[in-house]
A = this chain, B = another copy of it.
């Protein structure tokens, strides 16, 4: 899996000041999708094991009817079962369980409710054209959740055991995976600090759980390009913060800004940073540009992993694919609004799109910025890059091509 080596080098090449350099490079960053076991030294907090999962099935008469995937709103319909495992500083990991989906009993002083000791992942399971079920690069999600756990001061665990638990849950819920090539089963691993005490301190109790949602296409408007609202007065992430982590604390403050965008008639927020109005992310997605550069070459540009950017699994995959194709120059660098304005004026900005697990790719048609509307001709390109990326990823997701990124569940 040559591309993985490349991905990891990128992570290690971050400027020391901007990466969360106080967090030692996670051992897990070297994990492949093999089932190599972790040594005790690598797992200071021990681990739970997939083979220990205790399964309690929902009574047959309580199973829900499967929904019409055509009418699904993202994240509102859940399957019948969930996974949970709890950790306690003294007792360490408890018994991992798959059990009927239901409310969690949480102490009102739990740190997750007061101080946002919480992180999550977004993954998907796909039903292939061959009838088999696949995850997509789950090892990358495991690296990120373990890096986030260290930053949130929650215990680590063996990522391969957690992948094993995810697979067990997905197998039990396999009838929930839509028979559709635009739909999938969204997997939401969630990790919360449950310690019932009000000190702003590390959590001596934690719960790791997984819930599942069948999902259709992410955006209500379908695959139509989206309009963006860019206002430099709202800043998502900053140097010295945690913008490169999938922590809950990065998301709550964005809801107000998203509603501001919607009230203005735009669909998503374009997040800017700095005096020079660098473009960093769009909504909850990484961002990509296809430009005709000064040398006349077609160039793919995405902001670098400088601490302000979430290291998205889809982001890595877009870069890996485009590097493999050798049709574009690939550049990870900062891009500013002034440059976007200039490129647009010179008709050299060809495509702009977001990329993330929920939406895969999301073309952009315009940016509203300081009273100006900048039109982006993403939808007008012949054979656009975003579409080739989407088609290739879809072929991997749905098993039309055999690729190491598609990890079989069975």
Contacts and interface: CB of A to CB of B under 8 A. Distances in A.
Interface stretch (A88-96, A232-240, A384-392): A232-240
Given A76-B198, A201-B258, 9 more contacts: A105-B105, A113-B118, A113-B192, A116-B249, A152-B255, A235-B239, A241-B253, A247-B253, A249-B253
Contacts of A109: 75, 78, 188, 211
A118 B108 contact: no
A112 interface: yes
Interface of A: 17, 21-23, 73-76, 78, 82, 101, 103-109, 111-118, 120, 151-153, 186, 188, 190, 192-193, 196-202, 209, 211, 213, 232-235, 238-242, 247-256, 258-260, 283-284
> Copy number of this protein in the oligomer?
2
A108 B252 contact: no
Contacts of A256: 22-23, 151-153
A228 to B, nearest CB: 15
A108 B202 contact: no
Contacts of A260: 22
A103 B107 contact: yes
Contacts of A107: 103-104
B233 A235 contact: no
Nearest to A260: B22
A23 to B, nearest CB: 8
Closest 7 CB pairs of A and B: A75-B198, A235-B240, A249-B249, A116-B116, A115-B251, A116-B248, A103-B105
A171 to B, nearest CB: 20
Most chain B CB within a 10 A radius of its CB, from A190, A241, A242, A248: A248
Contacts of A197: 73, 75-76
Most chain B CB within a 10 A radius of its CB, from A108, A188, A196, A258: A108
A116 B106 CA distance: 15
A105 to B, nearest CB: 4
Contacts of A247: 116, 252-253
A259 B22 CA distance: 12
B112 A112 contact: yes
Given A241-B235, A255-B115, A255-B200, A82 B108 contact: yes
Contacts of A116: 116, 118, 247-249, 251-252
Contacts of A101: 108
A251 B201 CA distance: 9
A190 B106 contact: no
Given A17-B233, A248-B249, A253-B241, A259 B202 contact: yes
Contacts of A82: 108
B117 A252 contact: yes
Most chain B CB within a 10 A radius of its CB, from A75, A82, A116, A260: A116
A202 B17 CA distance: 34
18 contacts: A22-B234, A23-B256, A73-B197, A104-B113, A105-B105, A105-B106, A109-B188, A112-B113, A113-B248, A151-B253, A151-B256, A152-B252, A153-B259, A200-B251, A235-B240, A238-B241, A241-B253, A247-B253
A30 B107 CA distance: 35
Nearest to A101: B108
A251 B240 CA distance: 14
A209 B108 contact: yes
B251 A108 contact: no
